[in-house]
Amino acid sequence: MGVPLVEWEAESYPAYSDFAAIPLFAVFLFAVRYLLDRFVFEWLARRLIFERDEKLDLATHAGRIKIRKFKESAWKCTYFLSAELLALSVTYKESWFTNTKNFWVGPGDQFWEIRRSDFGISMVHHVVSVILIALSYIFRFARVGSIVLAIHDASDVFLELGKISKYSGYQLLADVSFLIFVGSWAVLRLIYYPFWILWSTSYEVVPILDKKKHKFDGPLYYYVFNCLLFSLLVLNIYWWVLMYRMLVGQILSKGHVGDDVRSDSEGEEEHED
């Protein structure tokens, strides 16, 4: 069976005014994080950390640092878990969730941190991600964009869960979370992402996408969007090297997760919450 007829002319196209809602979402996320930090994460950190480590005092600098790190990871875990569940709820019933060719068939769909040694790399990742999200909407590539988000957010849930567990003294849960994090990163970001998603954006899109129905030139679609997607792969490989070092360290330390190889910056000790 062929693809059902689609009335391309009746479609609505993205407008720049659609992005006016972005500042509202930014304020909303800031408010949610502030409330969770103040009324949930702070209480949870004190309860989990200081009840298990009686030698640690909240009044000490080390105690405040641990509280701050716990709250940061708790927020990231909450965000990534929410984003992952949202991405899956939107995509799992769609035909293009399992068949990448359907990315390109039919009309396009519309829909505070501690500074570390990899701050520059992280900022590059954030900038690339923001541009990709915007272009996914403008180019009407929301299908592939939503799958890319789902792939990348899944691993981060286990990363932040592992950090929370380590700060709270639950070493076994931290070890298990780290192993799941490494495994999911390898499968989703280093295998599925390049060999399915990037293959689709590089090869499947060429014969399938009806370029006459889009406002932008083919090279802008193909080279700009695809180069940004490949830059994510480069960043994934870079972070995989860091994780490999941590994995080796975990094996040498008889299974215990060590400190984050992305060491905190020198200025962190001078700043308090």
Domain ranges of the chain: 22-92, 140-253
**Mean pLDDT computed over 137-155:** 89
Confidence grade of residue 230 (pLDDT, cut at 50, 70, 90): very high
**Residue 67 reports pLDDT greater than 70:** yes
Nearest partner of 83 among 75, 95, 71, judged by Cα: 75
Q: Please tell me the predicted confidence (pLDDT) of residue 237.
A: 96
C-alpha span between 91 and 180 (Å, rounded): 23
d(CA 130, CA 231): 13
Q: What is the pLDDT of residue 10?
A: 54
**CA dihedral sign, ordered 11, 14, 20, 21:** positive
Q: How many residues are present in the chain?
A: 273
Q: Single out the residue of 136, 83, 134, 129 nearest to residue 108, CA to CA.
A: 136
59: tokens are: 């009044």
pLDDT band at 108, cuts 50/70/90? low
231: pLDDT confidence band, cut at 50, 70 and 90? very high
Report residue 12's pLDDT band, with 50, 70 and 90 as the boundaries.
low
166-189 pLDDT, tens per residue? Answer: 888 888 999 899 999 999 999 999
pLDDT at residue 152 tops 60: yes
At 204, give phi and psi (nearest 5°).
-60, -35
Give 246-254 contacts, CB < 8 A, sequence gap 24+: 246/178, 247/182, 250/175, 250/178
130 vs 254, more confident: 130
Q: What is the pLDDT of residue 269?
A: 41
Amino acid present at 216: F
Residue scoring higher pLDDT (225 or 221): 225
Q: What are phi and psi of 42, to 5 degrees?
A: -60, -50
Statement: residue 127 has pLDDT above 80: yes
Q: Any alpha helices (H) in the chain, and if so which ranges? A: 22-36, 42-45, 51-52, 61-91, 119-138, 142-168, 171-184, 199, 205-208, 218-219, 226-252
Q: Give residue 190's pLDDT.
A: 97
